[in-house]
Amino acid sequence: MQNDNSMKAAVIGLGYVGLPLSFQFAKCGVSILGLDIDSAKVDSLNHGKSYIKHIPSEAVVEVMRAGTFSASTDFSRIREVSAIIICVPTPLNKNREPDISYIIETGRNVARHLKKGMLVVLESTTYPGTTDEDLREVLEIGSGLEAGRDFHLAFSPEREDPGNPDSKVAIIPKVVGGFTPACLERAVALYSRAVKTVVPVSSCRVAEATKLLENTFRGINIALVNELKMVYSAMGIDVWEVINAAKTKPFGFMPFYPGPGLGGHCIPIDPFYLTWKAREYGQNTRFIELAGEINTSMPGYVIHRVADALNDRQKAVKGSSILILGLAYKPNVDDDRESPSYVLMDMLSERGAKVCYYDPYVPVIRPTREHPHWAGTRSVEWKKEIFERIDLVLLATNHASMNYRELAEWAPCIVDTRNAMSGIQTKPGQVWKA
């Protein structure tokens, strides 16, 4: 292991962003100190075990044995490193406004141990100005040092796509913006050790805005196909068939797909960071806000389709047994952050339905900020006798590991929000698209 202090960095926040980033640096010979306030995560890593489905425990063991990675809850160890990368959550509060409290509190912890010459990089998605205003202020006040003169400050947005086998930290271009040209140079040098392509931009704010553009682009286009889903359904047209036909065009079109609502750590949240900040400058983001309204209305549309499907069988939502298929926000991951499945479960439960769920990657629901009342609920088993007794299966997340032919054999009624039953032989009237 390199003992040169310039080759040692701390990554704060060992979640879906921080952990793979840590391992990529560690594989490239940079000694990484992983820091997290969650002692369970730290203990798991120090025992060679991963807690994220798409990161195998073998990857933990590999960097541990190489001596290039260690995990700790002791933030005073920041003194051992020359660079700090912050990868903490940036949720919305109950009023759908940005909550950067995790960034601010982390900044205070870093400031206590900040030394001259160190580099601090924020990766958490946020509004333009967070790095050079909010984070800089707490770092300077807490350390007595000045950004750009005594220490370096930069922003580099994370670009993680959990569950996508082609999404690898090493080959995804890394956008980097610095508080000063010297800050940028230092940050580019750091990331160049682990990432093939680094894309420097003129400021932290440009880098912050880049991330918001990427995710707002997706959110708006998903809203478009979600709206078309409802319009085309009223016309008796299958939007999935339309999208599949349109994507054969080799130019000027990119396919996006409808669903039961938005989930994950970025798309449901990031556009609201931009709309909130825009108001400070007297700007209205009507296009973005309209897309947000459409996407957040999708669970209501799905519940309407559930009610139609049950009514067709002379049943009401109240008293019916409904199984949510898939709790993770996207296929083939164990990430349930902001998952629309929780909203669907709440809406059905409020209407008197008896709700359960199945997800092989989420065997038990962990405590969440938004839906703590579901914590401890366990997934049902994938068994014929269980599915046959259910009045309706609501297919919310299409994991590849699910046997959709068995589902067609067992379930009396299926509301499909992901087109997962396409190509599967089903009975007339058994599947309702939503």
360-to-171, 364, 382, 411, 424 alpha-carbon distances in Å: 30, 10, 9, 18, 21
Q: Residue 23, Cα to own-chain centre: how many angstroms?
A: 19
CA nearest to 288, candidates 275, 304, 270: 275
Among 87, 204, 266, 413, which one carries the catalytic annotation? 266
**Residue 14: what residue type?**
L
Place of tokens 């020359």: 82
8 Å CB contact between 187 and 156: yes
Cα 118-121-126 angle, rounded to 5 deg:
150
266 flagged as catalytic: yes
3-state secondary structure of 415: strand
What HEC string does 32-46 produce? EEEECCCHHHHHHHH
Q: How many residues does the chain have?
A: 434
Contact (Cβ atoms closer than 8 angstroms) between residue 321 and residue 391: yes
Active site residues: 266
